[in-house]
Structure 1
Amino acid sequence: MSGRVVAATWVFTGRTDAVIRDGAVALDGHVILAVGARHDIERRYGRAERLDAVLLPALVNAHTHLELSHLRGRVPGGVGLAPWIRLLVSARAEDPRPGRALDEAILNLEEAGVAAIGEVTNTLAALPHLARAGIAGTLYHEVFGFSDARIAASLAAADEMLARASDPGPGLAIARSPHSVYSTNPRVLAELLRAGPASVHLAEDPGERIFCAAKAGPFASLQRMLGPVEVCPLGRSAVAVASPHMGPRSLAVHGVDLDADDLEDLARSRATVVLCPRSNLHVGGRLADLPRLLADGIPLAVGTDSLASSPSLSPLAELAELARAFPQLSPAHLLPLAWNGTAVGAPTVGRLAPGSAPGLVAAPLDGARPGDPAAWLVEEFGAAERPFAWIARARPTQSARGT
């Protein structure tokens, strides 16, 4: 690919709700040279190729479990998180290897316009697939166990797996992470969150609050699956236990069960809350309070969770679910949740900035003339999940072996 100028009916620049009518993007290969009004870009870079489309930065799926893709549709929901985890563990024990489902998941991500990812993993199975596809982001390698012996074994296994893993390639990092307050030794949870980057499942279910406050409820019995219990987190809530150790490179995934104190703690931590609405509805039938999170200024991103709990890997499909649940929120204000590349260690993804290669996708209008391009995008490429056309690929430049 050499120099190219592409014009479109609408151009979203990313990270905000800013959109340019009759806009254009100048490219040098996959690198953005300039973004602006078509007449300005053509004056500087020459005549543009005109597309009947909406142009936008490639998207970010900030929470996935690609290695569970073979369990799509095989783990029933509606039972609450703790019982659902038992069903998931049982299904995975019967069929532990994702096989070709990983290749299909990568194709699903590409059709959904995804260039960066927050992949939560026990096996690093998705690493070579992501590297071959040129998808950036972070693989959060989870550790489990409450007893000293169990957590030490989990950490050692993670280190051994990392040593055997292939080079992550440009734009991918690997970071050890705790799974949750109900499954990871509190000392190790704190250490990994402080070290960062890290991701933790947090406040996904009201049972976490009961577990932390009273050592009771469904997670107390679930915890016994992880071996002898020598320590137990003590706090008002899961957020109260984890948030003192979290920072700007932390992901708090789900945030469904939050009270006013939890929201204050999260805001103070500057962690990003990752919303996975379709998974939350499947597992427990509840959604995070998005209007309150926005009002409190908490950094946000969106993820799909695994195909065991969500029907696809499309970030815009998650936004479509949020748009249905919260019609008072403008779709234009939802789009930035799918452009938060910084949250997963891919800061160039999600914004058409000159000098970067964030990935550029087109949403063909096919003759439609929407008055609200954001609402049209969320409906057609979110709810209906039409595939995007790639104009330029993301080209990340850094990688890291792990922390």
Structure 2
Amino acid sequence: MSRITLHRARTVLPVASPPIADGAVAVQDGRIIAVGTHDAVSADLGDAVVERHEWDGTLAPGLVNAHTHLQYTDMAEVGRGSYPSFETWALAFEKGYRVEHDWAASAAEGVRQSIESGTTAVAEIVTDPEAGHAVHDAGLHGVVFWEVFGWKRSAWQQEGPQRVLAQLEALPSPPVTGLSPHAIYSLDTDVFRELQRLAEQHGLRLHIHAAESASEDEFARFGTGPLAERWRGLGHSDMQLLAGGGSGHGVVPYLDTVGVLTPHSHLAHGIYVDADDRALLRARGVSVALCPRSNEVIGLDAPPIAAYLRERNPIGVGTDSLSSSPSLRVLDDVAELHRLAIAQGYTDADLHARLLHAATAGGARALGLADGPTPTGALTIGSRADIAVFDTASVAPDDALAEVVESAPAALTTIVDGRALWTAPAVNGAAA
């Protein structure tokens, strides 16, 4: 019989069930086989437990970063800037991107930082093939999305599908791969439709930047505004939305007309959306990855987190990249979402639980990892043993939950499929 490992902590936050004081999680063959109080789990398993670890903190599901570009980790200098608009940040990003980079090393460093902050799964967008191995090599879960950018109808018809599929096939597996049609302003309408067709044909997930910039709406509706003028200035007046005077629809309805809003897709950012947009996303089963610290750096408005919560839209939490964010720590964005939710008038008592859910099970749902034979995102029997332990001081379980959400404590260990990928040097599980 394979060995059983038991992890005990002052507080266990299963996410799928209420917090547990003096809790334990038992792991066998990379899966969770028991969750409960330490006394109950120990009594049930008895001498079958071969290895024990006791953690002085809070044990939770591993975090899911629902939107990131780890390959841009060495572009942190851009992210340390302050920008008055999306367009201004984009110019700084492009200048930094054109400098020579070792994208493989940059992505590997981003993976390291992610693991050391308690992240066990990522929605990683890859723009350059050298960065495509980092998530695989580290043993993280998630989806590696190949970014599709800059295609217009005529060029796509000549070679688009063949090139994109070849780029996808070059990415290692696991984890699974997907497609990231970049945004409504960087791809022709017909290309969006074709990418959805390819995704359906090959069973791929889609991940799209949407409603991140205020000027996207004008671009989508009328083919005008700051983004439109910038793209015209770059010689792209022949793009379908620009040449045709827009679609007559806002960003979210436009994406629906091209067929990409499905339960197999999720959006990043979703800032500039109204109640009708959010209702449409719910109807289509589309999650939104919120990245509030990135939005602030770029000079954008805050995401309407209180509305998403009140209306019960499925949400995840993302860091975006260091080119627009201070860190790759998902809990830093959770803490900012907590602050924003209160500032926006959210008063329900479930705020802490809802935000931890977004950073774990909600992110797993966005990536298609919450269901199936090997789910992740919550501590339930049969789930992958993807676990993080955080350095909290609170004794009461509800206080520990609040501390995790509001204070973004450091991770003590990060466990994927039952195997510790990283443990803080000064803290080790005490074998009993």
Q: Deviations over 1:126-170 (max 9, x none)?
A: 33211111111112212223532344555443333234x25322x
Aligned match of 1:44: 44
- Partner Cα separation in structure 2 for residue 147 and residue 102 of structure 1: 28
% same residue: 29
Aligned match of 2:287: 272
Instruction: Work out which of the residue numbers 235, 248, 256 in structure 2 matches 1:235.
Output: 248
- Mapped contact 1:57–1:352 kept (Cα < 8 A): yes
Q: Deviations over 1:237-292 (max 9, x none)?
A: 11110034211111111110012221222122110011011001111231111111
Letter of the structure 1 residue corresponding to residue 173 of structure 2: P
- Partner Cα separation in structure 1 for residue 288 and residue 28 of structure 2: 35
Tell whether 2:242 aligns with 1:206.
no
- Partner Cα separation in structure 2 for residue 394 and residue 214 of structure 1: 52
- Partner Cα separation in structure 1 for residue 309 and residue 225 of structure 2: 31
Aligned match of 2:18: 18
**Number of residues of Structure 1 aligned to a counterpart in Structure 2:** 387
Query: How does 1:182-221 map onto structure 2 within 5 Å?
Result: 182-193=185-196, 195=200, 196-221=204-229
Tell whether 2:317 aligns with 1:302.
yes
- Partner Cα separation in structure 2 for residue 84 and residue 150 of structure 1: 28
- Partner Cα separation in structure 2 for residue 177 and residue 316 of structure 1: 24
- Partner Cα separation in structure 2 for residue 332 and residue 319 of structure 1: 11
How far did 1:33 drift?
A: 0.8
Structure 1 residues not aligned, in runs of 5+: 396-403
- Partner Cα separation in structure 1 for residue 95 and residue 13 of structure 2: 44
How far did 1:111 drift?
A: 0.9
Letter of the structure 2 residue corresponding to residue 84 of structure 1: W
Structure 2 residues not aligned, in runs of 5+: 420-432
Cα distance, 1:198–1:207 mapped onto 2, change above 3 Å: same
- Partner Cα separation in structure 2 for residue 73 and residue 226 of structure 1: 29
Query: How does 1:113-128 map onto structure 2 within 5 Å?
Result: 113-128=118-133
Letter of the structure 2 residue corresponding to residue 346 of structure 1: L
Q: Deviations over 1:279-310 (max 9, x none)?
A: 01111231111111122221111111111001
Cα RMSD of the aligned pairs, angstroms, is: 2.3
Letter of the structure 2 residue corresponding to residue 345 of structure 1: G
Tell whether 2:108 aligns with 1:108.
no
Aligned match of 1:399: none
TM-score, normalised via structure 1 length: 0.88
- Mapped contact 2:291–2:319 kept (Cα < 8 A): yes
Report SS of the residue matched to 2:184.
coil
How far did 1:71 drift?
A: 0.6
Query: 116-125 or 77-86: which moved more?
Result: 77-86
How far did 1:97 drift?
A: 3.6
Query: 243-252 or 300-309: which moved more?
Result: 243-252
Instruction: Work out which of the residue numbers 177, 180, 183 in structure 2 matches 1:180.
Output: 183
Instruction: Work out which of the residue numbers 137, 156, 160 in structure 1 matches 2:166.
Output: 160
Aligned match of 1:32: 32
